[in-house]
Each structure stands twice: as structure tokens, then as C-alpha cells.
């Protein structure tokens, strides 16, 4: 009886391990194809406005006098461009 139980346990363990292994394989393929290929856009660097301190994506702000600003108005307000 105990042998039968161990035998069944072994079968289940093998089945379960194969299932896990196969799923990992599929996941690895799909992630390497789907996510890496689709995610060309890297997370943008957020920078703090020198004047008001708000966090703005680097591409939306501007750099003036070596400092980062959220808008031309703030660059002017900080007296960097006048
Ligand atoms: Zn600002």
C-alpha cells in the first residue's frame, strides 16, 4: 500500500514538474519575443524643474544655463535667459 502511494506520488511529481517546465519554456519564448520586441520605449527620465520643483519628463522640459526647467516660462522666471 505504501509502495503504491509512493508510486502515485512519483507520477504526480513527474507530471507536475513536466508541466511547470513546459510552461516556463513557453513563457520564456513569448516574453523574449513579445515584450522585448514591443518595448522599445524605455521609461523616460523624470527631472525636477529648477524653479518650481515639479517632476517633468526630460523630453518635455528644457535645459537652460545648466539647469532643467519644466517650461520656458520658468526658465525665464529663474532669470537664466534674461
Ligand atoms: Zn517649473
| pLDDT tens readout for residues 19-76 | 988 887 766 555 555 555 555 666 889 999 999 999 999 999 999 999 999 999 999 9
Q: How far apart are CA 75 and CA 24, in angstroms?
A: 51
What spacing in Å lies between the alpha carbon of 70 and ligand 1's midpoint?
4
18 and 33 both lie in a single domain: yes
How many distinct structural domains can be found in the chain? 2
pLDDT for the residue 79 = 82
17: left (phi over 0), alpha (psi -120 to 50) or beta: alpha
Q: Is residue 65 part of a domain?
A: yes
Q: How far apart are CA 49 and CA 61, in angstroms?
A: 8
Phi-psi region of 25 (alpha: psi -120 to 50; beta: other; left: phi over 0): alpha
Predicted TM-score (pTM) of the model is 0.46
DSSP-derived 3-state class of residue 48: strand
23 and 4, same domain (yes or no): yes
State in Å: Cα 67 to ligand 1 middle.
Answer: 11
Q: What is the pLDDT of residue 47?
A: 96
CA of 77 to the centre of ligand 1 (A): 9
39 C-alpha to ligand 1 centroid (Å): 30
Residues spanned by the domain of 57: 46-77
> Looking at the structure, do residues 34 and 1 belong to the same domain, yes or no?
yes
Residues 37 and 7 in one domain: yes
Look at residue 82 and tell me if it is in a domain. no
Spell out which residues have Cβ within 5 A of ligand 1, the ion: 49, 51-52, 70, 74
Q: Are residues 55 and 70 in the same domain?
A: yes
**Together in a domain, 1 and 23:** yes
Amino acid at each position: 500500500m505504501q509502495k503504491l502511494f509512493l508510486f502515485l506520488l512519483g507520477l504526480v511529481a513527474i507530471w507536475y514538474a513536466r508541466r511547470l517546465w513546459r510552461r516556463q519554456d513557453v513563457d520564456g519564448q513569448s516574453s523574449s519575443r513579445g515584450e522585448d520586441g514591443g518595448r522599445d520605449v524605455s521609461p523616460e527620465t523624470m527631472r525636477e524643474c529648477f524653479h518650481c520643483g515639479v517632476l517633468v519628463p526630460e523630453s518635455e522640459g528644457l535645459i537652460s544655463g545648466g539647469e532643467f526647467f519644466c517650461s520656458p516660462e520658468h526658465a525665464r522666471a529663474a532669470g537664466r535667459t534674461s
